Amino acid sequence: MAEKTTGKPTPHGKKVKLKKRKLTAALVVFLTFYIVLMLISTIFFILFLHSTKPSEQALSLTVLYDDDDKTKYSQESVFINGALYIPYAELDKIGDFIITGDSHRITIISGTSDDYCTLYDDSLFMYVGNVPFRLTSPVIFGDSDYYIPIEIVENYMLGVTVEYDLKKSVCTVSCTDPDAITFIGKYQVAPNKLPETDIPVRDTSDVSESF
């Protein structure tokens, strides 16, 4: 006569169910951890994009003139060694400057005032008047033009506006007041005194001859 079954799970069946529950729980924990990690990574990536400084992002350049005309430069032509530059020829169209100098040094004089700045080829130093300042990117003397770091326009000039559109990766330079374009000393060299040999000698003979 056959034995009656009680319907109770066997020890083997209990072990199988326990393993399945552990596996399911482990899978849920793993998926939860993965989703949380992806969310955190996405948030950090978005924050990084919004916190990126203009100088850290490759930018193209647009120069606007008073007659609503404009000139555009690609990233390849004006974003050099991690810094954005504006050709002096374009800057001169905005401010009508007077320029003098040689192959190693130039002095740019405001056409509306007696203010001027002196720049040196491949140097991080500049002068506004007789006061030395330090740049984060060097001035570049090219074969056909001088390439001026955009920070000079942004930090050491009045009457000119520099605007960034990081979504479009473009920097726009325009004149806000042609009669007020001049040079100012905003960021002076570090408070720690620099060796005199580190600062280019300022020769003002070229400036005096221009007035």
The answer to whether the predicted template modeling score (pTM) of the entire model surpasses 0.75 is: no
| Of the listed ranges 42-51, 58-67, 111-120, 196-205, the one predicted with least confidence | 42-51
The closest alpha carbon to 154, from 168, 164, 169, 139, belongs to 164
pLDDT-derived band at 3 (thresholds 50, 70, 90) equals: low
How many C-beta neighbours within 10 Å does residue 88 have?
20
The closest alpha carbon to 158, from 134, 183, 127, 179, belongs to 183
Q: What mean pLDDT, rounded, does the chain reach? A: 79
Q: Given strand 79-80, what is the order of strands in its sheet?
A: 79-80, 83-87, 146-149, 140-141
pLDDT at 206: 57
| Mean pLDDT across 96-108 | 92
pLDDT at 14: 62
| The pLDDT of residue 159 is above 80 | yes
| The pLDDT of residue 198 is above 70 | no
More confident residue, 12 or 86: 86
